[in-house]
Amino acid sequence: MTIAGFGCMSLGTEERSAISLLEEAFEKGINFFDTANIYDDGLNETIVGKAFKNKRADVIIATKAGNERQPDGSLKWNPTRKYILQEAEKSLKRLQTDYIDLYQLHGGTIDDPTDETIEAFERLKEQGKIRYYGISSIRPNVIREYVKRSNISTVMMQYSLLDRRPEEECLPLLRDNNIGVICRGGLAQGLLAGKPPKAYLDRSEDEVKAIITSIKEKIQRPLEETALQYLLAEKAVWSVVTGIRTRKHLTDHLAAIGAGPLTEEEIQIIREVIPANNYTVHR
């Protein structure tokens, strides 16, 4: 089952307009809302909580912890048991709820105290404060460790037509273990939604331009639709989350995810046009 997702990071801090946009998204069929403790230093969670206080049973709310804001505004990585448990309590208060549907580690490295982190998530689950937990990571080595040592339900990862890195190393593992993928970055910083071409990951500006031009020529669909439907064709994908901050973004997102699925021929064309890339520095 694929669930329509709303990435809340880009909502902004104007409460009335943000709540209005969230409510409109819900009314039009989106029921999965992803936030984090550090988005606008907690204000994002507060806005999401206000928007759905009276609809709590009808929405799936995901949030994250692991990055700790420092006095100078920078972020410090903190996957300790103490911090995860502490931040869960704060998130529950801001979200005005007594449970979080999906609680996610907001990153992760191979040098983390992984067992300690898992213990924190399991304790929260036992207490009924979270229903499921997962990680938000693009590191294959970290993902493998959590698959092996924990009961994660989901992995949020960057995945798009321009970032096909998960296909070889991560997606088969997650499919085999019935772990859902939540896609972020599906529009590649807007490059797959009409923004001017620029270098992206290991692809030069010229390569990005050539890929987008070729896809537009060979597949007779709006580019954003092609981009998101490619992700939805993957069996492991549970939700595709894009950052939505305006009504146009919402309308475009709904149109793209609501369109018909890609044909096998279209998927094959995409894979021929876009060379797969691999994880290098992010391990």
Is residue 1 predicted with pLDDT exceeding 60? no
How far is it, in rounded angstroms, from Cα 220 to Cα 266?
Answer: 9
Is residue 190 predicted with pLDDT exceeding 60? yes
Positive or negative torsion for Cα 199, 204, 207, 209: positive
Percent of the chain with pLDDT over 70: 98
Catalytic residues: 39
Distances (CA, A) of 160 to 9, 66, 90, 108, 140: 19, 25, 33, 21, 16
CA-only gyration radius of the chain, Å: 19
Percent of the chain with pLDDT over 90: 88
What are the pLDDT digits (tens) for 131-156?
999 999 889 999 999 999 999 999 99
- Please provide the distance, in angstroms rounded to a whole number, between the alpha carbons at the two ends of the chain: 29
As given in the structure block, the two tokens for residue 113 are 């105290």
Is residue 196 predicted with pLDDT exceeding 90? yes
Q: Residue 3 has what pLDDT?
A: 76
Q: Are strands 75-77 and 67-69 parallel, antiparallel or unpaired?
A: antiparallel
Give me the domains of the chain, ranges plus CATH numbers: 3-273 (3.20.20.100)
Is residue 243 predicted with pLDDT exceeding 80? yes
With cut-offs at 50, 70 and 90, classify the pLDDT of residue 282: low
What are the pLDDT digits (tens) for 222-239?
999 999 999 999 999 999
Exposure string of 178-193, with b = 16+ CB inside 10 Å and e = fewer, is ebbbbbbbbbbeebbb
With cut-offs at 50, 70 and 90, classify the pLDDT of residue 277: confident
With cut-offs at 50, 70 and 90, classify the pLDDT of residue 281: low
Q: DSSP secondary-structure letter at 163?
A: B
Of 169, 182, 174, which is closest to residue 232 (Cα–Cα)? 182
Specify the range with the lowest mean pLDDT, choosing from 56-60, 97-101, 277-281.
277-281
Per the confidence metrics, is the pTM higher than 0.85? Answer: yes
Mean pLDDT, residues 92-120: 96
As given in the structure block, the two tokens for residue 114 are 């992984």
Q: Residue 283 has what pLDDT?
A: 60
With beta carbons less than 8 A apart as the criterion, state whether 192 and 159 touch.
Answer: no
Q: Which residue is associated with the tokens 């609680």? A: 103
CA dihedral 133, 138, 144, 147 (to 10 degrees): 20
Q: Residue 175 has what pLDDT?
A: 96
Collapsing DSSP to helix, strand or coil, 108 comes out as coil
What are the pLDDT digits (tens) for 244-259?
989 999 999 999 999 9
Q: DSSP secondary-structure letter at 9?
A: G
With cut-offs at 50, 70 and 90, classify the pLDDT of residue 4: confident
